Chain A
């Protein structure tokens, strides 16, 4: 038995075939009608709840994002006018403070996602594989310990991290033991890429190259675009990786337990070493779980809000500003409800686009190839039949 056959089998057990469907239960037309009615009856509560608490608020927010609602009274009252894309243009097209802030928040969150998503996925996978060892003592303890941060409120964790990362906090004390003079994390606005370039001698922080500072793209200079996450943002990233890795570890464990031991043993009999088993048996088996974790990671990280609200309020020097926090600030602090809603919808569009791209890039190529081949065969058969 070759390894590819093993993975093929693993996938079949991973996605059980759908049960027989209507086979046998169809009966006469009348009973089918009754069943349909009963079905609708049973889903009605959910439909009502979803439309009341999900669809209606989303529709309302969409309307607010194209209206001049000031936050007083109902957004559907007759004094509220339709303003078209007026709430969107200051964020995307018009030069000014709104666009500058929005682009800064986009830049910050981009680096944040780029750092958090891969690291939390790798960490979660590593933890899951370790905790899933059959012969590990105290597995339950470690599972609970790693999962614990996910259960604790993010506000409480943020407060603890505020103390850990103060200028004289535990982190800097530890760094001090090995002779590193740690930064004042949450008031350090310097970007990591700026610092790296400075360290490598590519440029100096005090006099950035004119080629970068002179060129503006969407209201920010290239120098600012390539700042990287600030030191303050990196501290938040560390916290989020630490917190969420536990949640995703649980998903990986669930997927790993679905992989029966004999499959791994069979691979070993075929001569695969431990790394080979991991690389060619476990990882392909985990593909759906990895896809899920990456998707949830991208969606969750682009919406990051709690940490900024509790710890930094967008500072220092706006380097922890994120679209979600900016949207909150625009609506609730500056009473620009339309613009706040517009930011939220741009963020939604962005997450939707990124998730679609990511799903397309990480799609199961064997499976989609097989599906295409099957389709081609069907078409060919149809053509044959029509010709004959």
Chain B
């Protein structure tokens, strides 16, 4: 078992074409279902001379048709809810990923959070010997102090 996003599909078809696998949603925890959702972003430079055109370009790239073209090309799931049905129809085996979009949460992208998450990651490296409640408490207080600012 591995916890992955649907970008893994491309790697599997490329490197392990004979692998037989199915996709399932994560089992529900005590606080209800949960999963991680995130998206790669388009950035537009604030000092750009062609800002309006850039916005137009990004608008075009995020239309349903274009999002489906990305999905076909890279195997990632579209970033628009309105494309969900079309995607589920085209790739029924990936329906659990789309289902996760209902309740999934994105990462906290606030300024300063990167350091907090890096700290959590560095402590998880030592998960076998780590004092897990202590690590969670520290993460909580670090995140709180960043977000409280």
Binding site for B on A (CB under 8 A): 72-73, 96-98, 100-101, 187, 189, 205-206, 314-318, 333-334
Contacts and interface: CB of A to CB of B under 8 A. Distances in A.
Contacts of B146: 97
B122 A315 contact: yes
A333 B112 CA distance: 11
Given A97-B146, A334-B114, 16 more contacts: A73-B47, A96-B145, A97-B119, A97-B145, A100-B119, A101-B115, A189-B125, A205-B129, A315-B125, A316-B125, A317-B122, A318-B119, A318-B122, A333-B114, A334-B112, A334-B115
Contacts of B123: 317
A267 B101 CA distance: 85
Interface in B5-45: none
Given A72-B46, A101-B119, A317-B122, A206 B129 contact: yes
B143 to A, nearest CB: 9
Contacts of B145: 96-97
Contacts of A189: 125-126
Contacts of A317: 122-123, 125-126
B131 to A, nearest CB: 10
B11 to A, nearest CB: 23
Centre residue among B114, B122, B126 by max chain A CB count within 10 A: B122
B47 A72 contact: yes
B98 interface: no
B142 interface: yes
Nearest to A94: B145
B83 interface: no
Contact of A97 (B46, B115, B125): B115
Contacts of B142: 96-97
The interface residues of chain B, by DSSP majority, are classed as helix
A158 B57 CA distance: 43
Contacts, number: 36
Interface residues of B, number: 15
Contacts of B112: 334
B116 interface: yes
A98 B142 CA distance: 10
A29 B114 CA distance: 66
A162 B146 CA distance: 35
A314 B122 CA distance: 9
A341 to B, nearest CB: 17
13 contacts: A97-B142, A97-B145, A101-B119, A187-B125, A189-B125, A205-B129, A316-B126, A317-B122, A317-B125, A333-B114, A334-B112, A334-B114, A334-B115
A324 to B, nearest CB: 17
Contacts of B114: 333-334
Contacts of A318: 119, 122
B107 to A, nearest CB: 15
A206 B129 CA distance: 7
B25 to A, nearest CB: 32
Contacts of B125: 187, 189, 315-317
A94 B134 CA distance: 21
A97 B47 contact: no
| Cβ-closest 10 pairs across A and B | A318-B122, A97-B142, A317-B122, A317-B126, A317-B125, A316-B125, A97-B115, A334-B114, A96-B145, A189-B126
Contacts of B46: 72
A73 B45 CA distance: 12
A254 B112 CA distance: 51
Contacts of A206: 129
Contacts of A316: 122, 125-126
Interface in B80-119: 112, 114-116, 119
A77 to B, nearest CB: 12
A157 to B, nearest CB: 25
Contacts of B47: 72-73
Contacts of A187: 125
Nearest to B124: A317
A219 B81 CA distance: 45
Contacts of A101: 115, 119
